[in-house]
Amino acid sequence: MSLTLSEVSKHNTDKSCWVIIKNKVYDVTDFLAEHPGGAKIILKYAGRDATSAYEPIHPPDALDKNLAPEKHLGDLDSSSAAALSDARQHRKKTEDELRMEREQANKPPLSRILDLQEMENVAHKLISSKAWAYYSSASDDEITNIENARAFTRFFFNPRVMRRLSNTNPSTTILGFKSRIPVFASGAALAKLGHPRGEANITEGCGRTSIVQMVSSNASLSYAEIAAARVSPDQPLFFQLYKHKDQSLALKRIREVEALGYNAIFLTVDAIVAGNRERDVRAGWTEEDVEAIAEEQQGKGKKGELPRKKTDMEELESAIDVKGTAGALVANDDRDMTWEETIPWLRSVTKLPIVIKGVQCVEDAVLAVEAGVDGIMLSNHGGRQLEYAMPSLEVLYRIRKQRPDVFSKTEVYLDGGVRRGTDVVKALCLGATAVGLGRPFLYAQSAYGAAGVVKLIRFWNVRW
């Protein structure tokens, strides 16, 4: 069936809500209540094109997976599609888009980038303010995020000399999978916000440098697309699991990644409620304001008549509470996970190795070992969840001091603030098997695609 813009525009309420995504029309009326991002955000696009809001934050298979075939109403007719494309092309660019274009033209060559901070600076200039806010923000006053990195500055080496070093080899194994250096990409959502190829850049970069990528449950490509981006079929991929509160949906997700050949499950346990990332929330408002101005300029606002200003109470109640880009990502997470029930359940449904991601104190490291997991990942989600969680490196140090037996019973990984080769070495000296990096991979792929990811790994002077 082919539909016109005018037909679609009639379905613009919660009683009948149609949206256009990439020239296809969907009836999302029944889905409104189920949407992890909330109904209001979809209603904002009811009866019109939602592509630009939808695309960067949803994997391409989200609609197929979640809407019954009869809700896929058909294509826009060719003249409507042409009208939409024309409107898109002639849309006045925002200040932010113009800035990004300017910066892209002046991007420094990758060979001139010497460290992760420079890579981050380039990414900051190139990506949208919304992407920057989502990637860089952390909870509340961002203390834990800052301290994650600063913790590394509190530990010094006790350097030993006169040891044979010409034949050193930094490679290791993580859960039995070979890794060129003891570093991997921690699962971080929505890589497409920073670069159109998104997570596939990280997959290719990790494949080329023989390190492992952990893929986020909230990746912006489908898990299949990411698996397909591997440089060889045996390139290992770990899967970061957000466990859905509906056990059968959680199982469906596990079965999907098992079938695709993913090699381990990293169950995230530190994000069962959304972190309070205020910079991320503010970025959403800026976007809304820009849209409102654009609509006014394109004559969609009610020109001539002064709209009645809402009372403060009306404004408060009608505001779309999207909690930033991140707010909805964990909306369906299981909030009742326990050591006693969740780990045995996970063990019973999968043979893949299980790692707990988000251990933040010595006591829980010990409980994780007792629960029999294959690895523990000391992480506070890059300071994005519980503010004043202790820096991951400090937790590692405390485990080393108080419960060194943990290291002989399971593999211990860490992420949060790792930015230099010396940070990696400090974590290894304290007993970690390997370390993960979150933001740096997002920045590297945003700025330079897969080449940026390769460069990021090469920063640590490992030549190949």
Q: CB of residue 37 vs ligand HEM: minimum separation in angstroms?
A: 3
> Least Å distance between CB 134 and ligand FMN?
6
Interface with ligand HEM (CB under 6 A), residue from 7, 22, 27, 35: 35
375's CB contacts (< 8 A; 6+ apart) are 175, 353, 354, 355, 356, 410, 411, 412, 413, 433
How would you classify residue 110: left for phi > 0, otherwise alpha for psi between -120 and 50, otherwise beta?
alpha
Strands of 86-166, DSSP E: none
Residues sharing a CB contact under 8 Å with residue 221, sequence separation 6 or more, in sequence order: 59, 60, 191, 192, 198, 199, 200, 229
Distance CA 207, CA 454 (A): 9
Cross-strand bridge partners of residue 95: none
Q: Does 37 bind ligand HEM (CB under 6 A)?
A: yes
From the list 19, 337, 427, 453, which residue makes contact with ligand HEM (rule: CB under 6 A)?
Answer: 19
- Stated as kind and residue range, the H or E segment containing 426 is helix 421-429
Burial of 89 (0-12, 13-18, 19+ CB in 10 A): exposed
Angle, helices 129-136/116-126, rounded to nearest 10 degrees: 140
Does position 450 interact with ligand HEM (CB under 6 A)? The reply is no
Tell me if 57 contacts ligand HEM by CB under 6 A. Answer: yes
Check binding of 322 to ligand HEM (CB under 6 A): yes
Per CB under 6 A, contacts with ligand HEM among 175-234 are 218
User: How far is the C-alpha of 366 from the C-alpha of 364, rounded, in Å?
Assistant: 5
Residue of this chain nearest to ligand FMN (CB atom):
438
Q: Give which of ligand HEM, ligand FMN, none residue 240 binds (C-beta under 5 to 8 Å, depending on kind).
A: ligand FMN
66 binds, among ligand FMN, ligand HEM, none (CB under 5 to 8 A by kind): ligand HEM
Q: Give residues 310-339 in contact with ligand FMN (rule: CB under 6 A).
A: none
Contacted by 50, from ligand FMN, ligand HEM, none: CB < 5 to 8 Å by type: ligand HEM
Contact 426, 393 (CB under 8 A): yes
Smallest gap from residue 339 Cβ to ligand HEM (A):
25
Closest CA to 215 of 240, 233, 195: 240
Complex with ligand FMN: residue 29 or 145, whichever CB lies closer? 145
Site string for ligand FMN, 138-177 (x = CB under 6 A): ----------x-----------------------------
Positions that interact with ligand FMN (CB under 6 A): 134-135, 148, 186-189, 216-218, 240, 268, 357, 379, 381-382, 384, 415-418, 437-439, 442
